[in-house]
Amino acid sequence: MHLDPDFEWLTYGDNGDKRGTGLKHLSDGDLLVFYAGLRSVREPRKLVYGLVGLFVVDDVLPAVSIRAKHFKINAHTRVRKIAVADIVVRAKATVSGRLTKCIPIGEWRDRAYRVRPSLLKKWGGLSVNDGYIQRSARPPTFLNTRKFYRWFVRQRVELIQRNN
C-alpha cells in the first residue's frame, strides 16, 4: 500500500520533477495542507471535499539522501529502488498531523468541486481559478498562507500523529 502522506511519521513524498516540483521549494515553516473528496453518508452520490491534515514543514530532502535505518518513514523510501527525483517533506511534530475530523471546504459549482467563495475570501484566495480543487497535475497554493493558517487555528480541530 502506498501510504502517503504518512501521518505517523509526518512525512509526504512525491516526484520532485513532476507533480511535486513546487514541494522542492518548500522550507521551514511553510504549510502543506491535505484535502480529500469523501463520500457523504447522507447523500451517497455526493462528495464532501474537506481538509484532512496539515503539515508545518520542517525540511525537504531528496529521498535518496535518507539513510536505510529511516526508510520506514515514507512510502517513497519503503520501495525497493528509490527514484532519484523523489523528495520527502518532513513536518514539525507539535503542529502537524491528521485532523480528528474533516473540515468541509467545498461545494459543487460550475461543473466542478470548488472551495466555497466565503472560505476563499477568509483564506485570501487560492492560485486556482474560482477555488477549483479537483485532482490536478498542479496542486493549488494559498495566496495568503498566514491568513489561511490563522483561519485554520480558529477551527480548533485536533491534529494527531497517526494513520487511520
Residue type, 77: T
Q: In this predicted structure, what is the pLDDT of residue 20?
A: 81
pLDDT per position as a tens digit, 4-28: 899 999 999 998 888 788 899 999 9
**Exposure b/e, 34-57, CB count within 10 A at least 16 = b:** bbeeeeeeeeeeebbbbbbbbbbb
pLDDT per position as a tens digit, 25-80: 999 999 999 999 999 888 888 889 999 999 999 999 999 999 999 999 888 988 88
Q: What is the value of pTM for the model shown?
A: 0.92
